[in-house]
Structure 1
Amino acid sequence: MTRTSMETGRMSLLAVHGIQGTSAAWSSVAQACATQAHVICPNLRGRGNALRGQAPQDYRLEAFSGDLAQIARQLDGPFILAGWSMGVSVTLEYLRRNAGPQPCALILLSGTPRPGLAPWFSERGDRLLKEIAAREKRLKLAMAADHQAVAWTWEGLQDVDHSAALADIQLPTLIIHGDADPDSPLEHARWLSEGIPNAELHVIAGAGHSLLTENTAEVAQHINAFIAKLHHAQERP
């Protein structure tokens, strides 16, 4: 995959899915951005064909960011790190821990610096597993994470707060959010955009949480324009 990126001159975009999604969540946007970037969409542990954890600690953000670092080390040249929903939290944790090669820019969609305050789930135990199944249907996830993996992941997100670390992010950052998002209300995007010095926020009117699949064209338009701007900046003498 690295060779393809180098041969075409396209920038790599490492795209991270959400708490219940898999790499398939990015498929439509990846296709729409194929001329601008070589998009790599891995499955986090407990999703798709990735390894399975055996206990709650296997699904902490620290573990996810470590997995992401292994993938990033296989890339050659500059890359953009992108996250949707919980993928934003994984991205922020990756940066906070300086876990691997550092990206040249960020793309954050439908995310939050404080996932424990996002109303993704409210139940516990067996009721949580049923709630996870219901949310999976509501978000129309064709491919979804193991329910137990989601439950353990949610448990590990409760006390996460990346707010204080946002000011340390000195990277061009594109934030895309829907103003009708019930899972990460718009104020969560404002926390991100106001905390990251070089962030630009684009709000999609009437859009909910599933931006990647329900607002593919507009999301891809913003991402392609952002990547073009990065290319232009790199070409300056």
Structure 2
Amino acid sequence: MKIGTERLLDGGYIAVRSGKIDPRRKTLVFLHGLAGSSSAWDRIAALGFSGFNTILLDLRGHGISHRYQAVDDYRIELIANDVIRVLRELHITQPIFVAHSFGCLIALTCVAQREFTSSKLILLSPGYPRPHSVLATVLDCLLKAAACIIRRTRVERQGGRVNYDKYPKNTDYNPRRMAADIHNTGGLVYLSCIRWALSADMTSLLSQLEGISVLLVHGKRDSVFPIRAAQKIKDRVRQSQLVTIDDGNHVLPLTHPEQLHAIITVFLAEEDFCEGVA
């Protein structure tokens, strides 16, 4: 599905799709999840958001964006820095990040830089990593080793985007969709991103959200990140609200695009938190 104009920005490394950008408007910046690409947003973006610019990015290593060679190239802060440079290049000063799953960590890291005036933040199906847990430590070692093996043996991948219309049964662990995602992105990128996501310091990132209105949307049937992850974020962020979807799973942008569009539209119309404080 064609959404806006396709461009390679940040020196040709990051693939971006957008319509004409009106500098008077705030800009919705859509950040996809692990092993996905900007095509995960096609069904929502096609519905349009009146009064807002819309930008869809392929994060580094995903979609049509550049694939780097090393595990360390996929640290969260490096992926976030790509996004920040793209927004600078497009002269975007008031981004509103709309992020899903892994993309939530990227959005939070971008906001923490305080380079832009972000009045709102939308997090869909967020997780809450525990970087110092025993499980995280064990997985960190295993994933780093596996990613290094893949790096030494892999064949250079050509970029692309998955057509999610081919996978109508989008359960959390739909084997056909997951295989397409991982094959399209590549094992090195997939494992490296998991490794660095496990080390994210959510407590520190959430502490940077003062004055920003935060919308959390979570499916009650999410088996990847149970709803308690979103509830924990809500408990830590005073100016946040949590909307749940009874029959929603983890891949909400694919399974509930119309419902998400309606929820996001209502949130965007609400008064900004910082403006509503007496």
TM-score band by shorter chain is 0.7 to 0.9
1:139-177 superposed Cα distances (whole Å, 9 cap, x missing partner): 568664222201111112222221244233120111111
> Distance in 2 between the 1:115 and 1:21 partners?
23
How far 1:113 sits from its partner (Å)?
A: 3.3
How far 1:71 sits from its partner (Å)?
A: 1.6
> Distance in 1 between the 2:51 and 2:208 partners?
28
The counterpart of 1:224, out of the listed 244, 248, 265, is 265
Does the 8 Å contact 1:178/1:207 carry over to 2? yes
1:181-192 pair list within 5 angstroms: 181-192=222-233
Secondary structure at the aligned position of 1:39 is classed as strand
> Distance in 2 between the 1:86 and 1:26 partners?
14
Question: Mind listing any 5+ residue stretches in structure 1 that lack a counterpart?
Answer: none
The counterpart of 1:93, out of the listed 93, 106, 109, is 109
Q: Equivalent residue for 1:55?
A: 70
Q: Equivalent residue for 2:154?
A: none
1:24-54 superposed Cα distances (whole Å, 9 cap, x missing partner): 1111111223334322111011111111111
Report the RMSD for the aligned CA atoms in angstroms. Answer: 3.1
Q: Equivalent residue for 2:175?
A: 137
How far 1:105 sits from its partner (Å)?
A: 1.1
Give me the identity figure in percent. Answer: 22
Return closer, same or farther for 1:88/1:139 CA change in 2, 3 Å cut-off: farther
> Distance in 2 between the 1:138 and 1:50 partners?
23
How far 1:214 sits from its partner (Å)?
A: 0.2
Question: Mind listing any 5+ residue stretches in structure 2 that lack a counterpart?
Answer: 6-17, 151-171
1:50-108 superposed Cα distances (whole Å, 9 cap, x missing partner): 1111101100101111101012212345221121000001111222344x424221000
TM-score by length of 2: 0.70
> Distance in 2 between the 1:91 and 1:46 partners?
17
Q: Equivalent residue for 1:203?
A: 244
> Distance in 1 between the 2:239 and 2:95 partners?
17
Q: Equivalent residue for 1:215?
A: 256
Q: Equivalent residue for 1:111?
A: 126
Secondary structure at the aligned position of 2:46 is classed as helix
Q: Equivalent residue for 1:27?
A: 42
The counterpart of 1:39, out of the listed 54, 60, 63, is 54
Bigger CA radius of gyration: 2
Q: Equivalent residue for 1:17?
A: 32
- Comparing both structures, which one devotes a greater share of its residues to helix? 1
Secondary structure at the aligned position of 1:41 is classed as strand
The reply to whether residue 168 of structure 1 matches residue 208 of structure 2 is: yes
Higher deviation after alignment, 166-175 or 60-69: 166-175
Instruction: Give the length in aligned residue pairs.
Output: 224
> Distance in 1 between the 2:41 and 2:19 partners?
21
Q: Equivalent residue for 1:193?
A: 234
Does the 8 Å contact 2:71/2:188 carry over to 1? no
Secondary structure at the aligned position of 1:83 is classed as strand
Higher deviation after alignment, 194-203 or 151-160: 151-160
TM-score by length of 1: 0.82
> Distance in 1 between the 2:179 and 2:48 partners?
21
The amino acid across from 2:189 in the alignment is A
> Distance in 2 between the 1:102 and 1:138 partners?
40
The counterpart of 1:151, out of the listed 183, 186, 191, is 191
> Distance in 2 between the 1:105 and 1:39 partners?
15
The amino acid across from 1:156 in the alignment is W
